[in-house]
Structure 1
Amino acid sequence: MPHPLRQRILITGASSGLGEGLARRYAAMGRDLALVARRTDRLEALRKELLDAHPGRRVEVAPMDVDDPDAVATVIPELADRMGGFDRIIANAGIGKGASVGAGMAAVNRHVLATNVLGTHATCEAAMELFRAQDAGHLVVISSVASIRGMKGSRNAYGASKAALNALAEGIRSDVLGSRIVVTTILPGFIATDINTGRRGPFTVDLDPGVDALLAAIEREPAKAYVPQWPWRPISALLRVLPLSAVRRVTGA
């Protein structure tokens, strides 16, 4: 059963893409926000935009690189103290660069795996420590439909990283099942964000409808959701059973 109101929300990777879009939607809905990312200039510009558009809202920003676990373990509790706690933490930060394994870009693929898996893990550790102390909260882990099957090219390491997040989020959910802590895994389809620049596949949706669908899914607080639900829920079911040659065609990968 969704919580009636998650008023205090932290979003990682809030300086662009889905994180930035969610920040705008939540500010318009009257929620109080803590926004973190590496690019502080973009965060400050977003904070000013949100406060100009919605006077009276609370918007805290802080630099945070999820690749630095010590920083994550420090910044999130500090922001929680300033906000009086968090009702929802959205682990959204991630990167999508990469190449086929063995194509001479091993370092780039390692970076994708490290940021998406270990960076999200660091966020989840800090979030869950806070929620356990509060005995309540909503953790949202942003995965991808690229996690469902292995995909070629730039999605080799990216898909693997997001598959790891599915298992991580489900393990956390198992730990707190039946408690007042809710864990949601979101699997976005192909949404036109910076992370997908240059690889727009079939069924790609533009950023605004993608963010709207993401917001609606998060507010429902399900265990798992595909975004947008149409067409990605049925496509995801197909991906699990199609031969790999068909997966390549369906995903454009």
Structure 2
Amino acid sequence: MPHPTRQRILITGASSGLGEGMARRFAAMGRDLALVARRAELLDALEKDLLAGHPGIRVTTAALDVDDPEAVARVVPALADELGGLDRVVVNAGIGKGASIGTGKAWANRATLLTNVLGSHAQCEAAMELFRAQGAGHLVLISSVASIRGMRGTRTAYGASKAALNALAEGMRSDVYGSQIRISTILPGYIETDINVGRRGPFTVGLDKGVQALTEVIEREPVRGYVPEWPWRAVAGLLRVLPLPVVRRLT
């Protein structure tokens, strides 16, 4: 059964990286966009750029810190009202700070867990409330291949935060199973973004290629998608079964 066109799309963390890239790709596809991020000046510049390049679409923006759950609960429905509803919400805002546990960087690990877990949870609450009221919608959680196994060093808290998103998504999916609400968990590998500085491996792809693969996967609305599909679906399968001494050398 073909998926409906998701015309009105909200993207968090839209001022740079994957969020900005998705906004540009979806704008080129003629979609209407609600874009949020902490850096309002970057959002304003992006809005002007998108409207100049694609005058037929609607774009609305708002400054938002997803660490503030009350602000998320207020801003998301307000943007939905501006667009007359939302068909898809992409939970993308996140950070990648971190260090090995117990090495004096607890603040960085806590910040990553706060934003990536509780910030994402706040976005899910707001999106699912809208989708339940509408009876339909597509919720997309941007996870990571780093969520499949426990990661060492700078990726410990980051991987744990993304593993929490996988479980959150599956729980929500079970909750609304059989409805017209779709929930996708997307696991990118290494894509050249600021969040992946110091975390890039041999299969790293450029931002443009990564964003193209990402939007194509999102459009298919899978339960779980890998970006790019090759090699990350195969790598994910291996990570699940390899012994820890091998995993730590690979990652």
Q: TM-score, normalised by structure 2?
A: 0.98
SS at match of 1:216: helix
Indicate whether 1:244 and 2:226 are aligned. Answer: no
Indicate whether 1:103 and 2:103 are aligned. Answer: yes
For residue 142 of structure 1, what is the aligned residue in structure 2?
142
Give the distance between the partners of 1:26 and 1:4, measured in 2 at CA: 15
Pairwise CA RMSD of aligned residues? 0.8
SS at match of 1:78: helix
SS at match of 1:201: coil
SS at match of 1:211: helix
SS at match of 1:11: strand
Give the distance between the partners of 1:230 and 1:22, measured in 2 at CA: 20
Deviations 1:57-89 (A, max 9, x none): 101000111000000000000001111000000
Give 1:4's aligned amino acid.
Answer: P
Give the distance between the partners of 2:2 and 2:96, measured in 1 at CA: 31
Runs of at least 5 residues in structure 2 that lack an aligned partner in the other structure: none
Please state how far the C-alpha of 1:2 moved relative to its aligned partner: 4.5
SS at match of 1:240: helix
Runs of at least 5 residues in structure 1 that lack an aligned partner in the other structure: none
Instruction: Please tell me whether the aligned partners of residues 73 and 122 of structure 2 are also in contact (alpha carbons under 8 angstroms).
Output: yes
Instruction: Please tell me whether the aligned partners of residues 98 and 105 of structure 1 are also in contact (alpha carbons under 8 angstroms).
Output: yes
For residue 227 of structure 1, what is the aligned residue in structure 2?
227
Give the distance between the partners of 2:2 and 2:157, measured in 1 at CA: 33
For residue 13 of structure 1, what is the aligned residue in structure 2?
13
Indicate whether 1:205 and 2:205 are aligned. Answer: yes
Please state how far the C-alpha of 1:148 moved relative to its aligned partner: 0.3
Give the distance between the partners of 1:140 and 1:200, measured in 2 at CA: 24
For residue 90 of structure 1, what is the aligned residue in structure 2?
90
Identity of aligned residues (%): 73
Indicate whether 1:120 and 2:120 are aligned. Answer: yes
SS at match of 2:19: helix
Give 1:134's aligned amino acid.
Answer: Q
Give 1:146's aligned amino acid.
Answer: A
Deviations 1:184-242 (A, max 9, x none): 00011111101011332121111111101110110000100111110000000000111
Instruction: Please tell me whether the aligned partners of residues 17 and 194 of structure 2 are also in contact (alpha carbons under 8 angstroms).
Output: yes
| Cα 1:125–1:147 shift into 2, 3 Å | same
For residue 31 of structure 1, what is the aligned residue in structure 2?
31
For residue 195 of structure 2, what is the aligned residue in structure 1?
195
Instruction: Please tell me whether the aligned partners of residues 2 and 221 of structure 1 are also in contact (alpha carbons under 8 angstroms).
Output: no
**Aligned residue pairs: how many?**
251
Give the distance between the partners of 1:2 and 1:25, measured in 2 at CA: 20
Mapping 1:160-171, distance limit 5 Å: 160-171=160-171
Indicate whether 1:70 and 2:70 are aligned. Answer: yes
